[in-house]
Amino acid sequence: MLEPRLPTGRAAPRGVFAMPIDGGEGGAAGEIDVRPAELGQSGGFQPLVVVHGGAGAPMTWLDGCTHAAEAGAAVLKNGLDALSAAIASVIALEADGRFNAGLGASLKLDGDAVEMDAAVMDSTGRLGAVAALQDVRHPVLAARAVADTAHWLLVGDGAREFAARCSLTGNHEPSARARERYAEVVSELARFWCESPDADLPLRRFWNYALPWDEALKKWGCGTVGAVVRDATGQLAVATSTGGAVPALRGRVGDTPIIGSGFYAGPRAAVAVTGAGEQIVRTLLANTVYRWIETGLPPADALKQGLALFPPDVDIGIIAVSERESAGLSSRGMPWCQAAV
């Protein structure tokens, strides 16, 4: 298990710092000009944005994370709250086109459908999520809109209709990167199934796309984007967004929009998770890490304990911010960075 390049578990220096978990090729992006902001009336809380680009995403995409962290930091600098900043960071990642979220969200196995999940939560109790949502460029905004309703989670067609009423739907064309990834997936998966003819049985038996199975051999791909933020008043927030895992049945929902699994925020911390959704939900990972931090464990240690719940070959990444500290960690590699304002 590899450590972040910069130390965690203490106050971050001001500026935007990239923290490639593999400590290698991704390289640090260095400090970006983010000027100090005034602390709020309650004082004493250092505004901070921590962003990740998905477990298993290449370190060459680190620039997208630093841009997103900077977007969140700019929002904090303008005096808006932690939730607004987390959403601004996720919007930047959804618009990037490389990450598996928003514009870059993976195509499902029919080569056509894009189903996305997103969630937001903060320490004041605001909570909203969407799952299996189509035709929306920024699912995180749909999740934010759900937080203003009497519900916390909307899915599928109902979520799409809700997003349309919020003027969030539109022509959502998959990015070039999503199409490239799809082509790679098809050829890899075809090879995989030739070599292991029984491996696809559950998917084949329950296949529920219009496109016949045999025409729909595709590859796996996954990734999620996320941000956790602390503002100058001490509010903590999390926002996440994903195109989900591939291969998957139509309607599959992973951990990302599920409270306590892919995300959690409360008075003591905000936690965002990425990786193998079907395994993450079984550990309620975000809530588990939150509870450890709540009982006094430093975030860096809580993340290490969280990763230790999984076999080392499972892709898992976690970022967290507490009242005073922050940390990020992944089992294999994950571009992430933090911006202190």
Where on the chain is the footprint of ligand ASP (CB under 6 A)? 54-55, 222-224, 242, 244-245, 254-256, 274-275, 277
CB of residue 38 to ligand ASP, shortest distance in Å: 36
What's the count of helices (H) and strands (E) in the chain, helices before strands? Answer: 9, 12
Burial class, 312, CB count within 10 angstroms (exposed 0-12 / middle 13-18 / buried 19+): exposed
Determine whether the annotation assigns residue 27 to a binding site: no
Q: Residue for token digits 């599928």?
A: 156
Determine whether the annotation assigns residue 253 to a binding site: yes
CB of residue 61 to ligand ASP, shortest distance in Å: 14
Name the residue with the smallest CB distance to ligand ASP: 277
CA neighbor of 178 nearest in space, from 65, 118, 280, 97: 97
CB of residue 53 to ligand ASP, shortest distance in Å: 10
User: What φ, ψ does residue 237 adopt, rounded to 5°?
Assistant: -150, 155
Question: Of 8, 224, 242, 288, which is the active-site residue?
Answer: 224
CB of residue 222 to ligand ASP, shortest distance in Å: 3
Within its chain, how far is the Cα of 307 from the centroid? 16
Determine whether the annotation assigns residue 275 to a binding site: yes
Cβ nearer to ligand ASP, comparing 212 with 311: 311
CB of residue 309 to ligand ASP, shortest distance in Å: 15
3/326 Cα distance (integer angstroms): 14
Determine whether the annotation assigns residue 40 to a binding site: no
Determine whether the annotation assigns residue 277 to a binding site: yes
Cβ nearer to ligand ASP, comparing 89 with 256: 256
Burial class, 269, CB count within 10 angstroms (exposed 0-12 / middle 13-18 / buried 19+): buried
Cβ nearer to ligand ASP, comparing 12 with 246: 246
Determine whether the annotation assigns residue 140 to a binding site: no
Cβ nearer to ligand ASP, comparing 147 with 316: 316
Cβ nearer to ligand ASP, comparing 55 with 73: 55
169 catalytic per annotation: no
Terminal alpha carbon distance of the chain: 29
111/180 Cα distance (integer angstroms): 11
Instruction: List, as own/partner pairs, every contact residues 73-77 make where C-beta atoms lie below 8 angstroms and the sequence separation is at least 24, other chains included.
Output: 73/16, 73/34, 73/47, 73/49, 73/339, 73/340, 73/341, 74/34, 76/37, 76/47, 76/49, 76/229, 76/231, 76/232, 76/341, 77/34, 77/35, 77/37, 77/47, 77/341
Binding residues for substrate, by number, are 252-255, 274-277
- The catalytic residues are 224
- Give the residue numbers of the binding site: 252-255, 274-277
